[in-house]
Amino acid sequence: MSDEVLKDEVLKDEALKDEVRAPQENIAAVSSAVAQLYDTYPFPPEPMLDEAPPGYNWRWHWPSAYSFCSASRPSTDQVRILDAGCGTGVGTEYLVHLNPQAEVVAMDLSAGAIAVATERCQRSGADRVTFHNLSIYDVARIPGEFDMINCVGVLHHMPDPIRGIQALAQKLKPGGILHVFVYAELGRFEIQLTQEAIGLLQGARKGDYQDGVYVGRTLFSTLPEQNRLRQREETRWALENHQDECFADMYVHPQEIDYNVKTLFGLIDAANLDFVGFSNPQYWDLSRLLGNAPDLMARAAALETRDRYRLIELLDPEITHYEFFLSRPPLEQADWTIDEVLLAATPERHACMEGWPSRSFFNYDYQVITVTEKEFAFLEKCEPKQPSPVSSILEEIDLAREEGLAMVRSLQARQLIMLASPQK
């Protein structure tokens, strides 16, 4: 099935949904119910700190995210970032601390969550943020456009996510990037069943979120130990769900839409933005599943890209969410295949390296990796305060051109360095 045919099928399906889509008053009612949930259980319930939060998330670091999307370091860090659906400000706090030159704006439907977010950011010194108690549907009320929009765990809780993503797309600058996280239906199958069961048991009390948490916890403690729903909760989710805020967000939420690859790209196409890629490309590498079957790999290579994505999630249906980047054209893509261009580029160590300086450290995905002596020597020279072109660094560490260029491309592909073009 071609991308165009698949797109047509998705759009037809969306058109049918449009016919039964809730009228404006129902959208308002659902939005009110969502706000009430988060006023009752502000989410996420992370503890507040009197210092910058630990660790990193490269998707919230403007230079790293932009480099992932364009293969090149951005020309400036003085950008505007919007945290759309900020909740209690956990992501907002990181956005402020990780991007010291950026103007950060945050918005959320829940006044209670905004209050927690405000206190969180004040306590940790993340004071360069402006909060708005608004629905994403009303994002046009915030002045100006943004270089980067972060929308994590929000669209799938909106009664009209297409309208939501279209509203955000209108606020994105040309060349800007949109980071999105939405639920995937295959890995959340047991959650869907549990949600419906809790709703049935609540009956007329559905919408009483504290009662929903009580019903859900009683349910899991009562079901037989070998029960599939109980086992999935205990083996996959219980560690985070010990907090009622997390349990309520997962099992008694009044609004949730779970996606598969086909419906996901229906949402993406509606935004009229370019799909840059999933932020966890390792999952979408078919060779990890069929690499030992060359014939099947060859057959899969003939598939359109979206069909190949669908094949991957069908073969490995553990995926619980999609996390990806979209961009508003034009987003220029760097081409490092030309040797002279790469030699003139300025490299910078990636912010995702935790445990540096060492030949072994955590990479952007919190995996321990080990670099060679030559790679370590190169990385040591990638100082942003004393930038040098690739050619000079290769000469300093006495590495032959061909071998050195291959090494630099490998470091860039593994997100261990960001490369800036000479004009930047």
Residues 254-276 have pLDDT tens digits of: 999 999 999 999 999 999 999 99
Pairing between β-strand 172-183 and β-strand 321-327 as defined by DSSP bridges: antiparallel
> Using 50, 70 and 90 to split pLDDT, how confident is the model at 386?
confident
pTM across the whole model:
0.92
User: In the chain, what is the greatest distance between 2 CA atoms, to the nearest angstrom?
Assistant: 75
pLDDT, mean of residues 238-248: 97
Mean confidence (pLDDT) of the chain: 93
Sheet containing 274-278: which strands, arranged edge to edge? 129-132, 103-107, 80-84, 146-152, 172-183, 321-327, 274-278
> Using 50, 70 and 90 to split pLDDT, how confident is the model at 186?
very high
* The residue type at 326: L
Write the pLDDT tens digit of every residue in 312-362: 999 999 999 999 999 999 999 999 999 999 999 999 999 888 899 999 999
Residue with tokens 């508003």: 328
Domains of the chain, by residue range, sit at: 3-185+258-327, 187-251, 339-420
Write the pLDDT tens digit of every residue in 76-102: 999 999 999 999 999 999 999 999 999
**The pLDDT of residue 423:** 67
Query: 3-state SS string over 59-94?
Result: HHCHHHHHHHHHCCCCCCCCCEEEEECCCCCHHHHH
Query: 3-state SS string over 203-250?
Result: HHHCCCHHHHHHHHHHHHHHCCCCCHHHHHHHHHHHHHHCCHHHHHHH
* The residue type at 100: P
Write the pLDDT tens digit of every residue in 212-225: 999 999 999 999 99
Q: What is the distance between the alpha carbons of residues 418 and 312, in angstroms, rounded to a whole number?
A: 29
**The pLDDT of residue 351:** 87
Q: What is the distance between the alpha carbons of residues 100 and 96, in angstroms, rounded to a whole number?
A: 6
Q: What is the distance between the alpha carbons of residues 18 and 357, in angstroms, rounded to a whole number?
A: 54
Lowest mean pLDDT among 14-23, 47-56, 160-169, 229-238: 14-23
* The residue type at 409: R
pLDDT, mean of residues 165-185: 98
pLDDT for residue 13 is more than 70: no
For the domain made up of 3-185+258-327, the CATH class stated in words is alpha beta
**The pLDDT of residue 178:** 98
pLDDT, mean of residues 8-15: 46
pLDDT for residue 18 is more than 80: no
Residue environment code for 234-265, b if the CB has 16+ CB neighbours within 10 A, otherwise e: eeebeeebeebbbbbbbbbbbebbbbbbbbbb
pLDDT for residue 17 is more than 80: no
Residue with tokens 């992501």: 91
pLDDT for residue 21 is more than 50: no
- Residues 117, 131: contact at Cβ < 8 Å? yes
- Indicate the CATH number of 339-420 among 3.30.70, 3.40.1350, 3.40.50, 3.90.930: 3.90.930
Reading the block at residue 113, the tokens are: 């969550």
> Using 50, 70 and 90 to split pLDDT, how confident is the model at 4?
low
